[in-house]
Amino acid sequence: MNAEKFIQRLCLVLVTLYFGVSLAGPLTALVVSSLQSGDDGSAANLAGRLTDPRLVRAAGNSLWVGALTSAITTALALFYAYGLTRARLPLKGIFAAAGQIPLLAPSLLSALALVYLFGVQGLLRPWMGEASIMGWQGIVIANVIATFPHALLVLRTALSASDGRLYEAGELMGRSGRSMFLAVTLPGVRHGLVSAALIVFMLTIADIGAPKVVGGSFDVLALEIYEQVLGQQDFAMGAAVALAMLAPTALAMGIERWAASRQSAALSARSTPLVLKPHLARDTAMLTGCSIIAAGLVGVIAVCQFASVAAFWPYDVSFTTKHYDFNRFDGGGWQALGNSVQLAVFTAIGGALLVFANAYLLEKTKPHRVVRGALSGFSLLSAAVPGLSLGLAYVFFFNNPANLLNGLYGTMAILVLATITHFYTVAHLSATSALKALDPEFETAAAAMGRPFWMVAARVSFPISTPALIETALYFFVNAMTTVSVVVFLYGPHTKLASVAVLNMDDAGDVAPAAAMGMMIFYINLAVRIAGETVLTRVRASTTRGKVS
C-alpha cells in the first residue's frame, strides 16, 4: 500500500470514527435507553409509552405544524430565491441580506415578535377581534419566519446552478418563459425543493421555542420531550418521545434520498452563465413579492429591537437599556454570550474543515462502495435526527461512566460536537455541490502526473472552493449562536449559552430581557456575517479570475 492510499484510508478511518462518536454511538444509546429504563425493560415497555394518547396527540400536532410550515416556507423561499437568481431585481444585495436575517437570530425571537405584535398586550391586538396568535397558527408563523433562510439557502444554490444554454435553446425553440420554468427550472431544483422542505420540516418539529412562547395549549412532540426530561425527569419517556420524533424525519429522509437519486447533474463543464434579460412583468412581480417578504423579515427584528429598549412595552415606550443588564436576570448573563461566541467559533472552524474533508474524500477519492455508502449515509442522517433527539442521545451516550469519553460531558467540547453534527447535512450538501462543480479529471490528471490527491486538494480544489468553505464556516457560526434544541440538554453550569438564556428568561417572565439577549445574538451574528462577506468578496475577486466559467 503506498503513502497515498494509506493517507486516504487514515482520513476515512478518522471520519468514520467521528461519525461513530457523534452519531452512531449516541443514537444507539438513545434506542437502548428507551427500551431499558423504567421497571422491566422490554420492547413492550416502549410500545406502551409510544401509544400514550397524550403522545399520539402531540405527534399529530407536530406533523401538522411541520408539514404546513414546510409547505409555506418552501413556496415563499422558492419565490424569493427565484427573484434573487432569475429576475432583474434592484438592490439584490439588500434583498439577499434581508432573506438571511432570521438566520442571525434565535428562532425564539420571531415568536417573541409575534407576542409583541399580536399577543394579549400586543401592539396590533385591538385590530385582531377574536383572533388569537396562540396555538398552531402562532407556531407556524414563527417557524416560517425562522426557517425561511434555511430553505432560501438551499433553493438559491439550486437556482444559481443554471445553464444559460438551456434557456437560450428554449428561447430559440420559441418556448415561453412559463414552459421553460416548468421544463427546465423546476426539474433543476426538484432536489433542492425536497431538501428545503425536509430541512424546514425537521427544524419545525424539533423547535421548542415557538411552541413554548406562542403555542398556548397546543402540545407538540418537542415540547413533550422537553417537559418529560427537564420537568418530570422521566428520561425513559423522553427517550421514547425522541425516538418517536425520529420516525417522520426518517421517512422524510427517505423521500429526500429518492429525489436526490433522480437528480441529474445541473451543470456541465460547458455550461454558460445565465444572462438575465429585462422582463417587466416578471421583474415587477418579483420586486413586489420579495419586498413584502423582506419587510416581514426585517419587521420581526425591528419589533424586538424596539420592545427590548422600551421601558414597558407597549404602554411605556420610553428608552431604556435596563433589559440589557443581563447579569441581573437568570440565564447566565453576559458570560452566556461569551460562551456562545466560543461555541460558534469552534463549530465554524471545526465544522467547515470536517465537512469539506469528508465531502472531498467521498467525491474525489472514490472510496470503497461500502465506506462511501456509510459515510454519505451518516452525512445525511444527521439531518434526519431532530436537534432535541440528538441532544438527548448525547446525554445517554456521554453521561455514562462506562464511556471513555464521559469526561466530555458538560464541557464546551460536547456542545461543539453536537452542534457540528446537528448542522452537518446542509453544510455537507453545499460542500458536495461545490466540489462536484470541479472537473473530475483534476485528480486523474494529478494521478497521471504522479501527484497525490492531497496535492490537488491543497493547491487546486480547496483554493477554488475557498468561498464555499468560508460560507460553510459562516453557516456553522450563526447556527451555533442561535440553536437551542441541540444544546438545551447538554450545557453545564460553566457552559451556559445565550440562546438557551433567551428561552429561560422568557420562561421566567423576563420577556424584554429575553428579546434583548436575542438582539445581542443577532448583532454578533450580523457583525460576523458582514466581516465574512467582506472577506468573501476579496476571495471571490481573486479566485474567479481563474475559474472555469
Give the torsion through C-alpha atoms of 124, 126, 131, 135, to 10 deg.
50
Pick from 403, 351, 388: nearest CA to 487: 388
Helices (H), 309-386: 333-364, 369-384
Between 328 and 366, whose beta carbon lies closer to another protein? 366
Of 88 and 451, nearer to another protein (C-beta) is: 451
Question: Minimum CB separation from another protein for residue 270, in Å?
Answer: 9
Closest CA to 110 of 197, 212, 195: 212
Q: Which is nearer to another protein, 168 or 441 (CB)?
A: 441
Smallest separation (angstroms) from another protein to the CB of 170: 24
Q: How far is the CB of 455 from another protein (least distance, A)?
A: 8
- φ, ψ of residue 243 to 5 degrees: the values are -70, -45
Dist. CA 415–CA 343, nearest whole Å: 7
* Element containing residue 169 per DSSP (H, E): helix 164-172
Return the bridge partners of 316, or none: 312
**Gyration radius of the chain over CA positions:** 24
Nearer to another protein, 34 or 461 (CB): 461
Site of grid cell 460531558 = 409
Shortest approach of another protein to residue 159 CB, angstroms? 23
Q: Are 229 and 208 in contact (CB under 8 A)?
A: no
Burial of 316 (0-12, 13-18, 19+ CB in 10 A): exposed
**Shortest CB 467 distance to another protein, Å:** 12
Other Cβ atoms within 10 Å of 286 Cβ, number: 21
127 by Cβ neighbours in 10 Å (0-12 / 13-18 / 19+) ranks as exposed
* Run of H or E including 310: strand 310-312
**Residue with Cβ nearer another protein (292 or 548):** 548
| Contact yes or no for 114/141 (Cβ under 8 A) | yes
Nearer to another protein, 178 or 545 (CB): 545
Grid cell of 179 as nine digits: 414552459
**Residue (456 or 516) nearer to another protein, CB:** 456
Cβ closer to another protein: 285 or 460? 460
Smallest gap from residue 167 Cβ to another protein (A): 22
Residue where the block lists cell 430559440: 172
Across 24-59, b (16+ Cβ under 10 Å) vs e yields ebbbebbbebbbebbeeeeeebbeebbeeeebeebb
Between CA 487 and CA 480, with CA 377 as vertex, the angle to 5 degrees is 25
Judged by beta carbon, residue 322 or residue 459, the one nearer another protein is 459
- The dihedral over CA atoms of 46, 208, 141, 103, expressed in degrees to the nearest 10, equals -120
Question: Virtual CA dihedral for 67, 205, 209, 493, nearest 10 degrees?
Answer: -170
Residues that bind another protein (CB under 8 A): 2, 269, 439, 441-442, 444-451, 455-456, 459-460, 463-464, 543, 545-549
Cβ distance to another protein smaller for residue 275 or 449: 449
Nearer to another protein, 204 or 433 (CB): 433
Closest distance to another protein from the beta carbon of 444 (Å): 5
Nearer to another protein, 328 or 547 (CB): 547
Least distance CB 9 / another protein (angstroms)? 15
**Least distance CB 305 / another protein (angstroms):** 42
Contact, 140 vs 64, CB < 8 A? no
With residue 317 as reference, give the H or E element that holds it.
strand 316-319
Rounded to a whole number of angstroms, the minimum distance from the CB of residue 1 to another protein is 11
Rounded least distance, CB 140 to another protein, Å: 45
CA distance 536 to 466: 9
Q: What is the DSSP letter of 184?
A: I
Q: How far is the CB of 385 from another protein (least distance, A)?
A: 33
Least distance CB 438 / another protein (angstroms): 9
